[in-house]
Structure 1
Amino acid sequence: MTEIPAGSLPPPQERRQLRESRSLTQAQVATQVGVSRATVRSWERGRSIPSGREGEAYARLLTGEVLTPAQTFDALYVFCAPALVRQTYLLTGRRELAREAVERAFQLAWQRWPEVAQDRDPGGWVRAMAYEYALSPWHSFRPRYRSPEPPPTDPADRALLHALLKLPPSYRRTLILYDGVGLDLPETAAETEASTPAAAGRLTRARAAVAEHVPELADPAALHRRLLELASREHLRAARPPTVRTVGERRNVFWTRAAIAFTVAIIGSTALTLRTAPTHYEPPIAPAQAVQGVPPPPAMGPLSRAEQALRAKLHRAESNGPERLAPAAR
Structure 2
Amino acid sequence: MTESPASQLPPPKERRRLREAGSLTRAQVAARIGVGRATIRAWERGRDTPGGREGEAYGRLLAGLAGPATGRADTDGRADTDGRAGSPPALSPAQAFDALYAFCAPALARQTYLLTGRRELAREAVEHAFQLAWQRWPEVARDRDPAGWVRAVAYEWALSPWHRFRPRYRSPEPPPADPADRLLLNTLLELPPSYRRALVLYDGVGLDLPETAAETEASTPATAGRLTRAREAVAARVPHLADPAALHRRLVELASTERLQPPRPTTVRTTGERRNVFWTRAAIAFTVAIIGSTALTLRTAPTHYEPPIAPAQAVQGVPPPAAMGPLSQEEQALRDRLRHSLTGGPERLSPMAG
Q: CA RMSD in A?
A: 3.9
1:221–1:14 distance in 2 versus 1, CA, 3 Å:
closer
Which residues of 2 match residues 154-193 of structure 1 at below 5 A?
154-193=178-217
Q: CA deviation at 1:82?
A: 0.8
Q: Is the 1:109–1:116 Cα contact (8 Å) retained in structure 2?
A: yes
Q: Is the 8 A contact 2:18 2:66 kept in 1?
A: no
Structure 2 counterpart of 1:266? 290
Q: Distance in 1 between matches of 2:9 and 2:182?
A: 47
Displacement of 1:297 in angstroms is 11
Equivalent residue number for residue 48 of structure 1? 64
- Structure 2 partner of 1:61: 80
Which residue of 2 is the match for residue 109 of structure 1?
A: 133
Amino acid at match of 1:48: G
Is 1:252 matched with 2:276? yes
Aligned to 2:104: 80
Do the aligned partners of 1:43 and 1:49 also contact (CA within 8 Å) in 2?
no
Give the C-alpha shift of residue 137 in structure 1: 1.9
Name the CA distance, whole Å, in 1 between partners of 2:141 and 2:61. Answer: 26
* 1:243-322 pair list within 5 angstroms: 243-286=267-310, 306=326, 312=332, 315-316=335-336
TM-score normalised by length of structure 2: 0.71
1:20-39 → structure 2 map (5 Å cutoff): 26=14, 34=21
Q: CA deviation at 1:69?
A: 0.7
- Summarize the Cα distance change of 1:128–1:66 in structure 2 as closer, same or farther, 3 Å threshold: same
| CA distance in 1: counterparts of 2:307 and 2:60, whole angstroms | 85
Aligned-pair identity in percent equals: 69
Kept in 2: contact 1:34–1:78 (CA 8 A): no
Residue 148 of structure 2 corresponds to: 124
**How many residue pairs align between the two structures?**
295
Q: Confirm or deny: 8 A CA contact 1:13 1:44 kept in the other structure.
A: no
The structure-2 alpha-carbon separation of the partners of 1:25 and 1:176, relative to structure 1 and needing over 3 Å to count, comes to closer
Instruction: For residue 317 of structure 1, report the CA deviation from its aligned partner.
Output: 7.9
Structure-2 separation of matches of 1:297 and 1:136:
81
For the pair 1:200 / 2:224, whether they are aligned, the reply is yes
> Separation in 2 of the partners of 1:14 and 1:260?
57
On the 8 A contact 1:175/1:207 being kept in 2, the answer is yes
How far 1:166 sits from its partner (Å)? Answer: 0.8
The answer to whether the 8 A contact 2:8-2:59 is kept is no
CA contact (8 A) 1:34 1:75 kept: no
Deviation at 1:78, TM superposition (A): 0.9
What TM-score does the superposition give when structure 1 sets the normalisation length? 0.76
Q: Relative to structure 1, is the Cα distance of residues 193 and 317 closer, same or farther in structure 2, using a 3 angstrom cutoff?
A: farther
- Structure 2 unaligned segments of length 5 or more: list them: 1-5, 30-43, 45-57, 82-86, 340-354
Contact 1:89 1:231 in 2 (8 A): yes
Deviation for aligned residue 1:215: 2.1
User: Compared with structure 1, are the counterparts of its residues 44 and 152 closer, same or farther at alpha carbon in structure 2 (3 Å cutoff)?
Assistant: closer
- 1:36 Cα shift? 6.7
- Corresponding residue SS for 2:63: coil
Q: Equivalent residue of 2:307, what SS?
A: coil
Q: Which has the higher contact order (CA 8 A, sep 6+)?
A: 1
Q: State the match for 2:261 in structure 1.
A: 237
Q: How does 1:148-159 map to 2 (within 5 A)?
A: 148-159=172-183
Alpha-carbon shift at residue 267 of structure 1 (Å): 1.4
Gap regions ≥5 residues in structure 1: 1-11, 320-330
Distance 2:312 2:229 in 1: 72
Would the aligned equivalents of 2:117 and 2:185 in 1 still touch at CA under 8 Å? yes
Q: For residue 261 of structure 1, report the CA deviation from its aligned partner.
A: 1.4
Deviations 1:148-195 (A, max 9, x none): 111011111111100111111111111111111111222112211222
Provide closer, same or farther for how the CA distance between residues 291 and 124 of structure 1 changes in structure 2, counting only shifts above 3 A: farther
